[in-house]
A and B are shown apart, each in its own frame.
Chain A
């Protein structure tokens, strides 16, 4: 798990991907919310579900590449 956070003199690709993805996902969610008149509750559920799936994929890729 240590190379998830830090690896060979730079941030671990796992934590880096997680941080970048979380920021972009949040901004994308905001854009979608403004373009579509969607209820905030439904949007939050969709955002959280999408986030969990993508984080699962990132972790899966990280574990698979070890």
Chain B
């Protein structure tokens, strides 16, 4: 009788695992999520469903709001301000616009690419992007997407970081104010559930990354070069 009981318990556990699998399919069952990388643990289709419904799985939000420590490489190269994929590095009127697209699975805290003094924190824009048109993020004409632009004075000239929201994101937090002295790699803000970060840097600087490269905020050197003589 004890053996039968044990067999029934084991069979019930296996059956429960299969039922869970069927209930969650095509998304991963909670039993196997821990072994999957974030991109497969929460597939894009599932996140878009949550966006429509306005509710998210707690584990996803915990991952999304994670803020791991980052170690800046030695030297004074300019660091990536955000985690993501470099989608564009266009030059426009003497400024290079390095566009970094964040995905749902990237860490969303932004970091200062350089040490310097914050000259201004401006809010602008009146629309939301839906991942489209990221390559046009450097255009300042209206309508531009909702964004905050941090202007930083550095030894290498003026550098700006633009935090741009998407239709999914809609909110930006900045943690520095005009007049603050900031360190290279310091946390400067967060885009909630979004989207795109643009680094504006002088064209005189040498770019160390190319379109399609993966970068990590506060860790990946994206540009270097001697300060311009003014």
- Interface pair B28/A34, CB less than 8 Å apart: yes
Interface residues of B in 1-20 (CB under 8 A from A): 1, 3-4, 7, 10-11, 14-15, 17-18
- Interface pair B32/A30, CB less than 8 Å apart: yes
Contact of A23 with B15 at beta-carbon distance under 8 Å, contacts A30-B21, A30-B32, A35-B35 already known: yes
- Interface pair A26/B21, CB less than 8 Å apart: yes
Residue in contact with B3 in the complex, picked from A10, A19, A30, A35, CB distance below 8 Å: A10
Q: Give the dominant DSSP class at A's interface.
A: helix
Residues of B within 8 A of A (CB): 1, 3-4, 7, 10-11, 14-15, 17-18, 21, 28-29, 31-32, 35-36, 40
Task: Return chain B residues, CB-CB under 8 Å to A31.
Answer: 32, 35-36
Sample of 4 further A-B pairs with CB below 8 A, known A23-B15, A31-B32, A35-B35: A11-B7, A27-B29, A27-B31, A30-B28
Number of contacting residues on A, CB 8 A?
14
Interface string of A2-16 (1 = CB under 8 A from B): 000000011100001
